Chains A and B, each alone.
Chain A
């Protein structure tokens, strides 16, 4: 599956308090979370972006609190894929579990800018900067984890495969 959209660029160590401040955690309603995504650093983020746009960040994206509301908020706001140099570990797991596509690439975040038009192939991990033609390849994701995202998250995946079929996944 290919995602093509405008890049919204963030720096290093974007923590989950920045993604969705705790004062909004009295709700897990997807629309509420989307509305309050990045409320403190980019108020109105959801209204600025178009569905399928691409969030590009630096090192350690999603650090801090384990709140699953963070990847949910990003997904509900309409972001099609997050590309970061790397992710904090709880966020990484949560993103797959809620079906938010994420990819790790050292090079892409350093070479694309806010506003760049970028195309991402979620299956192959190919990232293309449509403005410059530059091409990058994200760290490959094991098949079973791609299947979780493709299914729309762990719940849908488990419904399809059954709890006992989880194996080492």
Chain B
């Protein structure tokens, strides 16, 4: 039976020859992940369902990234719960502040996810790892707590929506713009419960960082997972980081798709998601004059080295506009270090940016850049819900690092070509 790549990975992990959309299956989990917000609840569940060892201390990643370095006593207590659990159960992939980063940036960087893996994380953006040709999805803390004990979970096999991107990209159009455009097309529930498979010649040309940006935001259309077929770019990325043998799953010709959407990218401009929905998308030329208070470059969507480099290219020799706060947060300690070596951080600092420690930062309104009432920000992150980055009457505009950097220079939403 022809299958999509998502179905193949699920069948393999359910020890079945095939699966179809709607099947309820029990799967073996290759890697289970939680962070400082979701782990404490998951650990409480784990402890309640019985005093036992974890299913495999080498297949669990616990990443302090949301409210770290701890912003208050309560956050410190939560981080401590996770740290003590990691020590007690000898969790191999626990990364302390100083060796860590944002979970979804860090796990691929450490080679913990490879093609064909099945990853379950207590965080909705766990769908990011689909860029590596893995199946990965987010769950709540209770599901994760039980997985910590059993290494298994149940899933409903999702139908797949395939999106094919063809044509040539305009200048300054990146993976971020493609996914924002796609969200504008699908809506915030357009892929609810579905797998989103990104394909086509445009995707084949994208570097890994931009692929991660796209699969990261699959959840913003309600998708269970986002996924991209592994190719030479994927395998080269993985070979540098992991000694395990990838299981390359490719969708069969004749596989059954719920929908196939073809997107010709030739005329797609840089895209902006206006408040208060990631699907409320306009091309840059149709965005009115929006004056800003803050610009944030970072997050699991756009905190990669390539993103910081793109921002630095635009900010080199320029200054952040008077009255604008530019906050840059590298996605991981390694990215931070490489950005220093390559002179990127110096360029950003000279332009007037403040650099934060690798963590989620203001993306979810935690700390390091909260917005006051009435303030407006451009952010390279993934959500602009009401109150997402601070006061419920603040406004967040989602965009690529290039747009964010250019906007920081002029003080209103603008593209690099307007500089």
Using CB atoms and an 8 Å cutoff, list the residues of chain A in contact with chain B: 13, 15, 17-18, 21-23, 25-28, 40-41, 59-60, 63-69, 71, 86, 88-90, 93-94, 97-98, 153-155, 158-159, 163, 166-169
Q: How far is the CA of A61 from the CA of B252 in the complex (A)?
A: 34
Place the interface of chain B in its size category: 35 or more
In the complex, are the beta carbons of A13 and B189 less than 8 A apart? yes
Instruction: Please report which residues of chain B, range 327-386, place their CB below 8 angstroms from some CB of chain A when the two chains form the complex.
Output: 364-366, 370, 383, 385-386
Map CB proximity to A onto B105-137 as digits: 1 under 8 Å, 0 otherwise.
000000000000000001110100000000000
Residue of A63, A71, A153, A166 with most chain B CB atoms under a 10 A cut-off: A63
Q: How far is the CA of A38 from the CA of B41 in the complex (A)?
A: 20
Q: Which residue of B lies closest to A43 (CB)?
A: B392
In the complex, are the beta carbons of B122 and A66 less than 8 A apart? yes
In the complex, are the beta carbons of A23 and B365 less than 8 A apart? yes
Q: How far is the CA of A104 from the CA of B25 in the complex (A)?
A: 23
In the complex, are the beta carbons of B383 and A60 less than 8 A apart? no
Closest beta carbon of chain A to B45's beta carbon, Å: 5
Using known A-B contacts A15-B385, A68-B41, A93-B140, determine if residue A22 contacts B124 with beta carbons closer than 8 Å: no
A-B contact pairs, 22 of them (CB 8 A): A17-B383, A17-B386, A18-B386, A25-B66, A26-B71, A26-B74, A60-B188, A63-B189, A64-B219, A65-B124, A66-B138, A66-B140, A68-B140, A88-B189, A89-B224, A154-B45, A155-B142, A158-B146, A159-B49, A166-B146, A167-B26, A168-B24
Q: How far is the CA of A155 from the CA of B138 in the complex (A)?
A: 19
Q: Which residue of A lies closest to B392 (CB)?
A: A40
Closest beta carbon of chain B to A53's beta carbon, Å: 23
Map CB proximity to A onto B211-225 as digits: 1 under 8 Å, 0 otherwise.
000000001001010
In the complex, are the beta carbons of A25 and B37 less than 8 A apart? yes
Using known A-B contacts A15-B385, A64-B383, determine if residue A154 contacts B41 with beta carbons closer than 8 Å: no
Closest beta carbon of chain A to B298's beta carbon, Å: 16
Closest beta carbon of chain A to B413's beta carbon, Å: 22
Q: Which residue of B lies closest to A159 (CB)?
A: B49
Q: Which of A41, A67, A89, A169 contacts B154 (CB 8 A)?
A: A169
Q: Which residue of B lies closest to A153 (CB)?
A: B142
Q: Which of A13, A15, A67, A97 contacts B37 (CB 8 A)?
A: A67
In the complex, are the beta carbons of A97 and B142 less than 8 A apart? yes
In the complex, are the beta carbons of B365 and A154 less than 8 A apart? no
Closest beta carbon of chain A to B149's beta carbon, Å: 6
Closest beta carbon of chain A to B121's beta carbon, Å: 8
Closest beta carbon of chain A to B33's beta carbon, Å: 11
Q: Which residue of A lies closest to B382 (CB)?
A: A64
Set of chain A residues within 8 Å of B143, measured between Cβ atoms: 93-94, 97, 154
The reply on B38 being an interface residue by CB < 8 A is yes
In the complex, are the beta carbons of A155 and B37 less than 8 A apart? no
Instruction: Please report which residues of chain B, range 229-253, place their CB below 8 angstroms from some CB of chain A when the two chains form the complex.
Output: none
Q: How far is the CA of A90 from the CA of B38 in the complex (A)?
A: 13
Set of chain B residues within 8 Å of A154, measured between Cβ atoms: 45, 142-143, 146
Q: Which residue of A lies closest to B121 (CB)?
A: A66
Set of chain B residues within 8 Å of A71, measured between Cβ atoms: 140
Q: How far is the CA of A67 from the CA of B365 in the complex (A)?
A: 14
Closest beta carbon of chain A to B79's beta carbon, Å: 10
Closest beta carbon of chain B to A23's beta carbon, Å: 6
